Structure 1
Amino acid sequence: MASTEGLVPITRSFLARYYDKYECVPLHDDVQRLSAELREGSKVLMDEAEPTPAEESVLQEANSVPPHKIDHNLWKNREHIEEILHLLETFNWPKKLQRQETPEEVDVVVIIEKVKTKLEGFLKFLESFQAKNADHIFQVVMTYMPQDFRGALIRQQRERSERNKQAEVESLINSGGSIHDRYALLWKQQMERRRQLAQLGSATGVYKTLVKYLVGVPQVLLDFIRQINDDQGPMEEQRQRYGPPLYSLTSMVIWIRSFLLLLWGRLEAGNLHKEKFDVLEQAVNVYISELERFLKFIGEVFQNSPFFISADDACAAESRNNNDFKETMIPAGKTHEILLNVDSVNSYIAWDFSLVQGKINLDIGFSVEYISSTGQVTMILPYRRCESDQGNFCTCIAGLYKLIWDNSYSNFFKKTVRYKVDAIPPVAEAARLESETDVPVVTS
């Protein structure tokens, strides 16, 4: 666990000073020029034929104000890139292009293939950027969490939650959900991740039963992660500084999609107009180049952003101690047992212990058992000898569990064990899961 002495949450005023060191380079003039050409070209195409409901829907979004939050814009860019790639699949080409009967049609197909290849590569880059950034934020938060079973449980809960989210997306795809439906779900899941982080600070919902046990987590951290995503919270400074160029690029990619969709709808009846595809290719090249440059810049800002500042900077200080371990001396030839009564399935039994070593390095036996109402004993964690251990398991049966430290094999040496154990009630998401096995799975 990282030191928390003298740390306070960042404020918007502090971020303003920090961001002064990272001035965002303006977008290239070609972004505005080509976006204007795409808008004008779309109007010309609409004069040729009335827009369909599907075309109207995309045009309405192109003429709307982009989302305010930076990560929402990134999801929107991914969505529209995928929609463009879908349009560029061969089976979606107008029949005139599929036939490729004239040299001009062949030239246009070459442009389409180049655009498709570039967008596919950039989509992977954007996906990787988002994944790395999300993991970075989580890892920074976890740096300040206790590195015992409490931090481990939060990590496990996150992994379980991510598996559930992925299964939800796959179910939507398998049921025929559209690209738009999938990204609506992905953004909903992103908001759920935000709520889960905020719940660490407010002790509600999924993490309510975990936060209760986060003795030693600095309150400044809990306060920060509760307010970080507020509309007028600390990150608003980031949005005002770096949002406008991203908003322009979000609008640009929607206009690229609108322009291509209108082209596809009118190509059969009209002339090919290769110059329109030249504009499309230029727009895609500039869009990719400028968004990639922006992401590399904002990625550097994200990586170096100070989640906390020192007390000297903020003229305040706060620290909390984590000293909730207990110690017990186990005489030679004896054992020490702790009974934990679990009321609910999907509760966690967790432990963290180590021997207080003297001049001679020693070990101690450790095991975990389940005792049924009839007195039948089931081994949960097989007996083993070790100097220390940290682990937990999710219960599939309510009842009595016994944790045993065994020094019965020692004829001469007493052992002092420093430990903490707990039975933690099920978190909300875990309680919805069905047990996959007949016995608890133990991790350590």
Structure 2
Amino acid sequence: MDKFVVRGGNPLLGTIKVSGAKNSALPCMAAAILTEDEVILENIPQVRDIETERKLLASMGAEVELGYGRAQHRTRIRCAVLSDPVAKYEIVKTMRASSLVLGPLVARTGIARVAMPGGCAIGGRPIDLHIKGLEAMGATITQEHGYLEARTNRLKGARIVFDKITVTGTEDLLMAATLAEGETIFENCAREPEVTDLAAMLVAMGAKIEGAGTSTIRVQGVSKLHGARHRINPDRIEAGTFLIAGAITGGDLNVDGCEPAHLSALIYKLEQCGVRIDVGTDHIRVRSGGDLKAADISTEEYPGFPTDMQAQYMALATQAEGTTIVTENIFENRFMHVQELNRMGANITVQGRTATVQGKTPLQSAAVMCSDLRASASLVLAALVADGETILDRVYHMDRGYERLEEKLRGVGAQIRRMGDVFGKK
């Protein structure tokens, strides 16, 4: 099992490149189910979840080619025949995004059988909103032996009000509605850039969608979609992680190939912490502004502070003078990194959904355990400023969502290396 070994103390200097967004790429790959034609996706990140999605689509009968060489970030998908519309547990058990194939499968084939999803153990992400929406559109859904099965002759348009904002629920039902008969109106939709990115791809495939990126989305169903070429958005969470890496190390780091408009909430908080930020059209420069200062955060749905940046921000807070209050409003079990940060010398207490970080505390090297994707990133950030050599175990969590993180960080001066088999090595 791979480990990272990180020796702290180096400021990060230079330019670091942002990959495509995993959380955009996964629903866009699922959307290829909706057409018999070829779909080409560009700016696909080389991470484990993408390989899992490739296996999932291939197991259903799709032809999926992940690019290599100069085309290594491009994939071609053709779902001409979906001979086995089942998302098998052995494939999807490590990936939450498996639920995203439910809507497009039942819309295209009239039947879908999907294993209840896995992924990071950061709290409940109920699939009931997906089920309620599909039932409102005329699907019959049963659940047994860990699988959901949906059946319909053809989905029909409906008015659907989400009980709570859900990104995957919005994406899954949006895909289903493109082939439904009549108009579907969604209210209380997720507004994340990943939803907007998926909608842009669906429109390129011939879907009729209005309002993506707002709380109300209207879809006029069509009888058939065609192939398309689409470029995936840059990964705002990877970009945010790099911004914090530059800030926590007191470096001078240019985060290139990002979309600054997607990072407004984080940029605002970093500036409150005393970090110097220069924003360009597709890059952000982060520099030390002197001693870091505490600034509270409260996670919210987009455009609020992202839950996927909470753990990384907490690592930064350990190096800020004063008390930082971190409130987690999205997931109820997303403080698993706290224990590991405290083992490195942090002073963090948790009560319910609130963590209190007392800074500034010197961090020391330790052997630590990665518990989920973003918690893993927070431990890398802490290790970059810790005294001595930190060993991070179970970094396969990192490989699910960060493309060659250690190589990118090493390119801007971090002392980080991988022990074990390198993911993706041929």
Task: Tell me whether the two structures share a fold, i.e. TM-score over 0.5.
Answer: no
Query: Which has the larger share of helix?
Result: 1
User: When the two structures are superposed, what TM-score results if normalisation uses the length of structure 1?
Assistant: 0.24
State the structure with more CA Rg.
Answer: 1
User: When the two structures are superposed, what TM-score results if normalisation uses the length of structure 2?
Assistant: 0.24
Query: Which has the larger share of strand?
Result: 2
